[in-house]
Amino acid sequence: MNIAVIGTGYVGLVSGTCFADSGNKVTCVDIDEEKVGKLKDGQIPIYEPGLETIFARSQREGRLNFTTDIAEAVPEADIVFLCLPTPPGGDGQADLTAVMQVADQLGSLIDEYTVVVNKSTVPVGTGDRVEAAIADNVDEELFDVVSNPEFLREGAAVEDFKYPERVVIGTGSDRAAEIMTTLYEPFVRSGNPIIVMDRRSAELTKYAANAMLATKITFMNEIANICEKVGANVDNIRRGIGTDSRIGKRFLFAGIGYGGSCFPKDVQAIHHTAGQHGYDFKIVDSVMEVNNAQKVSIVKKMEEYFAADDFSGKTFGIWGLSFKPETDDIREAPALYIAEELVKRGAQLLAYDPEAIGTFKQATTQAVLDNTTFVHDQQAALNDIDALVICTEWNEFRRPTVDNFADEMKDPVIFDGRNLYDLKRAKKAGITYISVGRPSIN
């Protein structure tokens, strides 16, 4: 099939490349000339495991092309994917400026039947708006607008795209449904379903999935908080309930809260949509409140441990700045908030992250920059510190194991926001180890 992908951000680039990899001819469009120039040269602006190889092969074989001219890509295309940014607007709802600007241009570029697909995460009803904008300039018989939300995780996007657990297609048109099903069939050969539904349900499915996952994490974080009060261990609770297939083992890891560009934005947006329709979506309101508190809960533990709310004269090591491992993304990362709170209390910081030092520096406050030394290996963040704070579960922080802290630090005190280490080993190693929802080792 001939596919146009409008927007070469994260979703557009991964989708375009994976569609090209499965034998389609894909033209990706972006208004950013510099970016398109680099992509034409084979330079990929994001890091995603596995992307480089299939990008290079598809480009070499002529199935993956780039242009800044939308008029070059759309008339040829059987399917046009809109993968445009929908940042949070001032009112907590996604800002649709980019999507609508493109929709306004599409009608005059379509001259044969074309399926227009919205892949960006957009509020319920956006498909109707896109349809109306296109219909201003072209006969309604010549196109259908479909919602096809993506469920990719950063760091595993290619894998998620190639082997989706499900594909959701929202359309009332049989013709569009058939074309979309044909496109996705190669990705679900293992038998996973392509679920065709109405467009509004598909749009809401995306928000419901992210809100459910954010709620699941938050529920476990609250259980962890209760564990700390009653002297239980959240790891045991996780195993005890996760084996019930109705609950499931995944996304039950307590920690210092969820972050990233998706969960916080989508939870807020579904709350807003419900409110607009006169429904008070209470559970997600609590999820947001609990998550905000959870992000800085570790600072409270530090105040308790040091019996002070003034950390002047103290230096803390920070391991991990990104919102999760395998990415340099620091959007809504707990480390941003923790660093700010610690510096507010007079602390100096020694911070290390394998990928995210650059992005963290751009996003943090001047006060944090003035009081933080960024170091380029994890050992260096342990030099003469009063305590280590672990904010992200990068694999390399699991090794060297907890036993080594006693060699590396004079009097090791670890505040672990991601529960990396085994409690028995921490005890044996003779360190002070305070984690989330598990008994403290002193």
Annotated binding-site residues for NAD(+) read 30, 35, 86, 121, 154, 265, 331
- Quick one: 213 or 414, whose CB is closer to ligand UGA? 213
Please count the CA atoms within 13 angstroms of the CA of 339 that sit on its side-chain side. Answer: 32
Report, in Å, the least distance between residue 25 CB and ligand UGA: 26
Site for ligand UGA (CB under 6 A): how many residues? Answer: 19
Given a contact cutoff of 8 angstroms between Cβ atoms, the answer to whether 321 and 391 are in contact is yes
Annotated binding site: 30, 35, 86, 121, 151-154, 206, 251-255, 259, 265, 324, 331
Q: How far apart are CA 17 and CA 13, in angstroms?
A: 6
Q: How far apart are CA 281 and CA 212, in angstroms?
A: 12
Using the 8-state DSSP alphabet, how is residue 360 labeled?
H
> Which single residue is written with the structure tokens 């509020």?
123
Dihedral of CA 83/251/295/154: which sign?
Answer: negative
> CB atoms < 10 A from the CB of 317, how many?
24
- Quick one: 94 or 133, whose CB is closer to ligand UGA? 94
Given a contact cutoff of 8 angstroms between Cβ atoms, the answer to whether 5 and 28 are in contact is yes
Using the 8-state DSSP alphabet, how is residue 441 labeled?
B
- The yes or no reply on residue 360 touching ligand UGA (CB under 6 A) is no
Q: How far apart are CA 76 and CA 58, in angstroms?
A: 19
Residues 132-161 contacting ligand UGA, CB under 6 A: 150-154
Using the 8-state DSSP alphabet, how is residue 270 labeled?
H
Annotated binding site for substrate: 151-154, 206, 251-255, 259, 324
Task: Write the interaction track for ligand UGA spanning residues 294-333; mark x where CB under 6 A is met and - where it is not.
Answer: -----------------------------xx---------
Q: How far apart are CA 108 and CA 280, in angstroms?
A: 41
Question: Which of the stretches 70-78, 194-202, 209-217, 351-359 binds ligand UGA when contact is defined by CB under 6 A?
Answer: 209-217
The residue type at 398: R
Angle (deg, nearest 10), helices 126-135 and 97-106: 30
Report, in Å, the least distance between residue 286 CB and ligand UGA: 16
- Quick one: 171 or 205, whose CB is closer to ligand UGA? 205
Q: Which contacts (CB < 8 Å, 24+ apart) does range 380-384 have? A: 380/350, 380/352, 381/317, 381/318, 381/319, 381/350, 381/351, 381/352, 382/317, 382/350, 382/408, 382/409, 383/317, 383/350, 384/315, 384/410
Compute the CA torsion angle 335, 341, 347, 349 (nearest 10 deg). 10
- The yes or no reply on residue 7 touching ligand UGA (CB under 6 A) is no
Question: Which of the stretches 225-233, 260-268, 383-391, 402-410 binds ligand UGA when contact is defined by CB under 6 A?
Answer: 260-268
- The yes or no reply on residue 235 touching ligand UGA (CB under 6 A) is no
Among 17, 65, 120, 210, binds ligand UGA (CB under 6 A): 210
- Quick one: 127 or 260, whose CB is closer to ligand UGA? 260
Report, in Å, the least distance between residue 42 CB and ligand UGA: 25
Given a contact cutoff of 8 angstroms between Cβ atoms, the answer to whether 435 and 409 are in contact is no
Report, in Å, the least distance between residue 179 CB and ligand UGA: 23
Q: From the candidates 28, 227, 262, 391, which is the catalytic residue?
A: 262
Report, in Å, the least distance between residue 294 CB and ligand UGA: 9
Using the 8-state DSSP alphabet, how is residue 349 labeled?
E
Report, in Å, the least distance between residue 45 CB and ligand UGA: 17
- Quick one: 164 or 412, whose CB is closer to ligand UGA? 164
- Quick one: 154 or 355, whose CB is closer to ligand UGA? 154
> CB atoms < 10 A from the CB of 346, how many?
14
Among 251, 281, 305, 306, binds ligand UGA (CB under 6 A): 251
- Quick one: 123 or 412, whose CB is closer to ligand UGA? 123
- The yes or no reply on residue 234 touching ligand UGA (CB under 6 A) is no
> CB atoms < 10 A from the CB of 60, how many?
10
Is position 262 annotated as part of the catalytic site? yes
Given a contact cutoff of 8 angstroms between Cβ atoms, the answer to whether 363 and 286 are in contact is no
Among 259, 320, 412, 437, binds ligand UGA (CB under 6 A): 259
> Pick from 268, 279, 269, 29: which is nearest to 125 by CA?
269
- The yes or no reply on residue 119 touching ligand UGA (CB under 6 A) is no
DSSP 3-state helix, strand, coil percentages of the chain (rounded to 5)?
Answer: 45, 15, 40
Interface with ligand UGA by CB under 6 A: which residues? 150-154, 210, 213, 217, 251-253, 255, 258-260, 262-263, 323-324
Q: What residues act catalytically?
A: 262
